[in-house]
Amino acid sequence: MKRVIRYWSYRVLTLLVLAFMAGCGSDSSTTATTIPATASIYYGHSAAFKNNSTLTWGYNAFGQLGNNTTTNSAVPVSVLTLTDTTIPTVIPLTGITAVSTGGAHTLALKNDGTVYGWGRNAFGETGNNIVENGDPIARQVKVAGPTGAPLANVTRIAAGGNHSLALANGVVWAWGFNGNGQLGDGTTNTNPTPASVGLSGVTAIAAGGSHSAAIFSNTSTVASWGYNGFGQLGNNSTTDSRVPVQVKDSSGTPLSGIKAIAAGGAFSVAIDRDDNILVWGYNGFGQLGKDPATVSFSAVPVQITGIAGKVVAIAAGLDHVLALTSDGKIWAWGYNFYNQLGVDKNITPLGYRFEALAISDLLFDTTAKIDGVNPLVVTGHHNLARKDGKLVAWGQNTNGQLGDGTTTDSSTPVVVTGF
């Protein structure tokens, strides 16, 4: 119990989302007309592609929707950019190949290998070399590297709670909040300018609440760094690390054969070459597939059981996990206070479920890339997937993050307006 209390207290102090509250804030929906002094709602917005345009919806107090306002939207709106002309014009942002939603900011990867960021910038998480809590970036800005030139040749991006990652030529770059070493540069100094983590030969990255992870292309091993109070770094300790450490199994052998990874609020998930799902870190809501009453966390990977079929995608929310199998089924387990497991929360009276079960008899698309990379997207306490050619969402909707024009939570996938 002391660990659970410490966990939630720590997430408040580091501005993460409390699972018992709506996206780190209250259960009330707000339409911001002024910039909040501090953030109280995190992971309350969504992003997806449609016809070469980037659309966003949900919470927008810090401009994380990128539409040049700070007004929430329960339906998708276009991300905008300001043209560099003598008479500036706001036009839709196009040419984006990947997008990632963080705690209160958003990243996008353009087809020329450059990165853009917008939203809350209290720790420089948008990557524009400035820290500015009172003046969020409501339109996209190009992420600049250490020399001031735009970060180039980027192939992957990942937005975390208050930090950001990018992968360029196999090298990992990080910027934003660094109180737990999640930038991996050996310090705890916040940095609004992307800096190399010191890793090369990387093929995939993931950003959690306050930790980060990467897969090496030649060995398929995993490195992680940052907050480790619940073993989410997977190195059999609970000590934070300011530099990357290897994820190891219970015997001390480096985890290998990993082909995909995701990072949740305070836990990590991976798929190995045999399609086994491995999870490590916090288990307060059954994220590890274990009863929280007996297992509160694990500092080494444990295997999820009960899933039938070949796993083609995994996604991690703040405290729940989804897995998509090749037959189109989505399996869900973990926290369910907002119906994010695809079942009414009253069916899970404890607020969670540690058994991995398929979401009813629904079948989802296994190939569509919602964010440019993944066919399954989880943000905070809500989810996005494709079904019957439509983009659907379910889970928490306090701030319109399901995009169906309402602010009502849903255990049943609803069609995102305009998709």
How does pLDDT run across 243-277, given as a tens digit for each residue? Answer: 999 999 999 999 999 999 999 999 999 999 999 99
**Residue 323, in any domain of the structure:** no
> What CATH code is carried by the domain that includes residue 145?
2.130.10.30
The tally of domains found in the chain comes to 1
**Residue 29, pLDDT above cutoff 50:** no
Helix, strand, coil percentages (3-state) for the chain, rounded to 5, are 5, 40, 55
What is d(CA 234, CA 107) in angstroms, rounded to the nearest whole number?
27
**Residue 251, in any domain of the structure:** no
Closest by CA position to 27, among listed 15, 16, 41: 41
How does pLDDT run across 74-100, given as a tens digit for each residue? Answer: 999 999 876 655 555 667 888 899 999
Residue 192: C-alpha distances to residues 131, 132, 207, 318, 352 (Å):
6, 10, 16, 24, 37
How does pLDDT run across 176-233, given as a tens digit for each residue? Answer: 999 999 999 999 999 999 999 999 999 999 999 999 999 999 999 999 999 999 999 9
How does pLDDT run across 30-73, given as a tens digit for each residue? Answer: 333 466 767 788 999 999 988 878 999 999 999 999 998 999 99
Instruction: Give the bridge partners for 109, in sequence order.
Output: 98, 115
Which one-letter DSSP state was computed for residue 169? T
Q: DSSP secondary structure string, 170-232?
A: TEEEEEE--TTSTT-SSS---EEEEEE-S--SEEEEEE-SSEEEEEETTT--EEEEE--TTST
**Residue 60, in any domain of the structure:** yes
**Residue 17, in any domain of the structure:** yes
Instruction: Give the bridge partners for 213, in sequence order.
Output: 206, 224
pLDDT at 92: 80
* 360 phi-psi bin (left φ>0, alpha ψ -120 to 50, beta other): left
Pairing of strands 352-358, 330-335: antiparallel
What is d(CA 91, CA 140) in angstroms, rounded to the nearest whole number?
11
**Residue 417, in any domain of the structure:** no
Does this model's pTM top 0.75? My answer is: yes
**Residue 57, in any domain of the structure:** yes
pLDDT at 35: 67
Residue 22, domain extent: 1-200
Across 26-35, 114-123, 295-304, 351-360, least confident range: 26-35
Q: DSSP secondary structure string, 254-303?
A: BP--EEEEEE-SSEEEEEETT--EEEEEE-TTSTTSS-TTT-SEEEEEEE
- Number of Cβ within 10 Å of residue 19's Cβ equals 25
What is d(CA 96, CA 113) in angstroms, rounded to the nearest whole number?
10
**Residue 132, in any domain of the structure:** yes
3-state secondary structure of 101: strand
pLDDT at 146: 85
N-term to C-term CA, the chain = 44
pLDDT at 136: 59
**Residue 232, in any domain of the structure:** no
Q: 3-state SS of 28-76? A: CCCCCCCCCCCCCCCCCEEEEEECCEEEEEECCCCCCCCCCCCCCEEEE
Which one-letter DSSP state was computed for residue 328? S
Average pLDDT, the chain: 89
What is d(CA 159, CA 102) in angstroms, rounded to the nearest whole number?
4
What is d(CA 10, CA 169) in angstroms, rounded to the nearest whole number?
35
CA atoms within 13 A on the CB side of 230: 33
Most confident of 9-13, 89-93, 373-377: 373-377
The single-letter code of the amino acid at 256 is: S
Phi and psi at residue 184, in whole multiples of 5°?
70, 20
pLDDT at 334: 98
